[in-house]
Structure 1
Amino acid sequence: MNIENDVIETLEQLENFLIQVESGALGLKDVAGIALATSNSDGRPFVAVLSDKHELLLGRWVSQDVYENGKDLVRTGPKRN
């Protein structure tokens, strides 16, 4: 899997990550969606940036708290001021 070792520990960090993905700051191409998921090998939670072919473009590990409480943020997207 293409998951970076950085762990997103807070909802604020998750929101900043989503803003970076949406703004193109990470240079990812063909982004079609973002999802919270768990690793099949060890059950560890992560946020996945998916391509239009449902391939993992980028992933970041998330804390259990972010996994449990960040679902609405991922579903609706970050709120920009």
Structure 2
Amino acid sequence: MNNEHDAIDNLADLESFLVSVENGGFGLQGVAGIGMATNTKDGRHFIAVFDDNQSLLLARYVTDEVYENGKEMVRNGVQTKH
């Protein structure tokens, strides 16, 4: 998991993270999906980027608030603003 100090702690940062992944901002190859999950060892929530083989490409911790309120954003993608 990435540095704990880089945890996503608000919905604006979650949106920015998602847009960056979608636009190739992290230089990731073969992105197939993004999901939110809970670490079974310590109960912390995180967002994960996967490839076609369901291998983890990138992960960032998220706060409980972002986990609860950002699920739809992750599930449905970022809505573009007109």
Taking only the aligned residue pairs, the percentage that are identical comes to 51
How far apart in 2 are the matches of 1:4 and 1:78?
A: 23
| More strand, by proportion | 1
State the 1:80 CA deviation: 2.4
How far apart in 1 are the matches of 2:27 and 2:50?
A: 14
The size of the alignment, in residue pairs, is 79
Question: How well do the aligned residues superpose, as a CA RMSD in angstroms?
Answer: 0.8
Specify the alignment match of 2:57 in structure 1.
57
Specify the alignment match of 1:24 in structure 2.
24
Return 5+ residue gaps in structure 1 as ranges.
none
Where do 4+ consecutive residues of structure 1 move more than 6 Å?
A: none
Q: TM-score by structure 1 length?
A: 0.93
How far apart in 1 are the matches of 2:7 and 2:20?
A: 16
Specify the alignment match of 2:2 in structure 1.
4
Q: TM-score by structure 2 length?
A: 0.92
Deviations 1:36-64 (A, max 9, x none): 00112111000000111011100000000
How far apart in 1 are the matches of 2:12 and 2:80?
A: 12
Return 5+ residue gaps in structure 2 as ranges.
none
